[in-house]
Amino acid sequence: MTISQHQKNMTINDQKIKYALYCRKSTEDDNRQVLSLDSQEQEMIKMADNLGLEIVQTFRESKSAKKPDNRPQFSELINLIKRGKIDGVICWKIDRLSRNPIDSATIQWLLQQNQLKIIQTMERQYLPGDNALLFNVESGMANQYINVKKHTKVEATPFAFRGLLRCAKCGCLLTATLKKKRHIYYYCTNGKNICDEHKVYLTEDYLSKELLGVFDKLTFDEELIELCYQTKKEQGDGNILYLEESELNLKNRLAKLKERRNTLLDAYLDKTLDKAVYEAKDKQLNNAEVNALKDLSDLKEKLKEAGTDTLERIKNVFLEPKRLKNTFLTLPLDKKREVLFSLLWNAEIGNKKIANISFKQPYKQLSEITNKSDFSSMLGDRDFRLSEFAVAHSLRCRGQR
């Protein structure tokens, strides 16, 4: 996916927003935390990069937000907003900023006074012009959750694709809602108030089938994958033999250098060798030994890279998308989410179809190969190419079938 120029230069009233990144994790119960501070920060930095947002300061806090005046980093953030040093906030969810009515009211007041121009979460944006009721409801839900985390066990509705899908028209995240206690619908949040796509509702089953197209962009011919694997394995076996012989030669050289240094020392101790000559020769031999040890270390790394373990991993990278496609629709929702988040940064939905996909590495590189039957271009010159013989052999085999 190519981020639009509008997104890359996102401004409010033509003024570049100075964002603070706020990460919070409660210290009360680690088991309830969806993401650690490091994970929150990494994911939000990726989101900011995708949207072209400028982060000028990062705040990390391991504190509960149930009570006001309990978070030094949050207090510093609010102070900077009031002083005009920060005018945008990025956080994982709105409840990372506040779970109590006093802090929530402070944030809402800063938004209404336009001192805080935007709050960007993984799900949506909060802007000064938004209906205050929505912010109040979501903040109130975060506060109510505290009283519920005490009396009852709440099972959240698993919205598998929330935080992953964006509107192709306005760039806002799609959110989800549960209807009649069993039907899940996704729709644009229309956070910028410029989009009519929020009137289009997509069922979770429909999106599951639509997202199968993600795997098509990553699927290669299995025969060519196996053929290239075997070809490279044969090449690697010969290369490993050469490297092992080189390793043996270096070990023999090191042994001879040590033997010469010992002989030199004996001669010096027997006073048959002048001290100045001994030190000069010993330094020369020592330098040669250091270089040989470095060469041996480099050689061991090459042997490790030439091993079949690395080759197997590369092979599996290319095979995995097809395997995932074959099982995707049968997976439970949490596993579908896990699979998609391992492959994608996000996917844009427009006119009920996937418009653009932003892949993570190494899948981004795979998706950019237009001819999926040509395995020679899969990893370019960096790792391995399909030999002309292998291509010709594959074409002959196909012609005979």
337 found inside a domain: no
Q: Are residues 271 and 141 in the same domain?
A: no
pLDDT at 15 over 60: yes
Q: Are residues 120 and 248 in the same domain?
A: no
Which has more pLDDT, 291 or 377?
Answer: 291
Counting residues of the chain whose pLDDT is more than 70, the rounded percentage is 75
Pair of tokens at residue 324? 């995932």
Q: Please, what's the b/e burial string for 297-321 (b: 16 or more CB within 10 A of its CB; e: otherwise)? A: eebeeeeeebeeeebeebbebbbbb
Q: Are residues 130 and 230 in the same domain?
A: no
Q: Structural domain tally of the chain? A: 2
Question: Average pLDDT in the 268-286 region?
Answer: 90
pLDDT at site 365: 81
pLDDT at site 85: 94
Cα distance between residue 229 and residue 153, in whole Å: 51
Distances (CA, A) of 151 to 144, 145, 154: 11, 10, 9
- pLDDT digit string, tens, across residues 326-369: 899 999 888 899 889 888 999 999 999 999 999 987 788 878 87
In this prediction, residue 310 has a pLDDT band, given cuts at 50, 70 and 90, of low
Cα distance between residue 188 and residue 201, in whole Å: 8
Final residue of a domain: which of 113, 138, 155? 155
Q: Are residues 259 and 143 in the same domain?
A: no
19 found inside a domain: yes
Whether residue 48 contacts residue 118, with contact meaning beta carbons closer than 8 Å, is answered with no
Q: Are residues 9 and 150 in the same domain?
A: yes
Sheet containing 165-167, strands listed edge to edge, beginning at the edge strand earlier in sequence: 165-167, 344-350, 353-359
3-state helix, strand, coil in the chain (%, to 5): 55, 15, 30
Q: Please, what's the b/e burial string for 239-253 (b: 16 or more CB within 10 A of its CB; e: otherwise)? A: eeeebeeebeebeeb
The CATH number assigned to the domain holding 86 equals 3.40.50.1390
Tally of CA atoms within 13 A in the half-sphere of 50 that contains its CB: 23
Pair of tokens at residue 178? 């549960």
Pair of tokens at residue 400? 């005979």
pLDDT at site 350: 92
253 found inside a domain: yes
342 found inside a domain: no
pLDDT at site 259: 92
- Range with the lowest mean pLDDT among 134-148, 233-247, 315-329, 387-401? 387-401
Q: Are residues 141 and 9 in the same domain?
A: yes
pLDDT at site 238: 61
Final residue of a domain: which of 155, 183, 200? 155
Pair of tokens at residue 258? 């040590």
Distances (CA, A) of 15 to 3, 11, 163: 20, 5, 27
Q: Are residues 230 and 113 in the same domain?
A: no
Spacing of C-alpha 34 from chain mean position:
16
In this prediction, residue 239 has a pLDDT band, given cuts at 50, 70 and 90, of low
Q: Are residues 142 and 236 in the same domain?
A: no
101 found inside a domain: yes
CA 280-283-287 angle, to 5 degrees, is 145
- Range with the lowest mean pLDDT among 119-128, 198-207, 227-236, 301-310? 301-310
Instruction: Report which secondary-structure segment, H or E, holds 267.
Output: helix 222-269
* SS3 call for 195: coil
CA 171-172-177 angle, to 5 degrees, is 140
Arithmetic mean of pLDDT over the chain? 78
The answer, yes or no, to whether the previous bond of 158 is cis (omega within 30 of 0) is: no
Type of residue at 87: D
pLDDT at 140 over 60: no
Length of the chain: 401
Nearest to 82 by CA among 57, 54, 114, 104: 114
Tokens 């549960």 belong to 178
Instruction: Report which secondary-structure segment, H or E, holds 241.
Output: helix 222-269
The alpha helices in 10-52, defined as continuous H runs, are 37-51
Q: Are residues 114 and 25 in the same domain?
A: yes
pLDDT at site 31: 42
pLDDT at site 82: 94
Nearest to 328 by CA among 348, 342, 314, 317: 342
Cα distance between residue 304 and residue 298, in whole Å: 10
398 found inside a domain: no
- Supply the range of the domain harboring residue 303: 222-310
Q: Are residues 235 and 124 in the same domain?
A: no
Q: Are residues 150 and 11 in the same domain?
A: yes
Pair of tokens at residue 135? 């912010």
In this prediction, residue 14 has a pLDDT band, given cuts at 50, 70 and 90, of very low
Q: Are residues 139 and 267 in the same domain?
A: no
Cα distance between residue 113 and residue 101, in whole Å: 18
370 found inside a domain: no
Final residue of a domain: which of 310, 325, 357? 310
Cα distance between residue 67 and residue 72, in whole Å: 12
- Range with the lowest mean pLDDT among 55-69, 125-139, 274-288? 125-139
215 found inside a domain: no
The two beta strands, 88-91 and 19-24, are parallel
Most confident of 10-14, 63-67, 205-209, 314-318: 205-209
pLDDT at 150 over 80: no
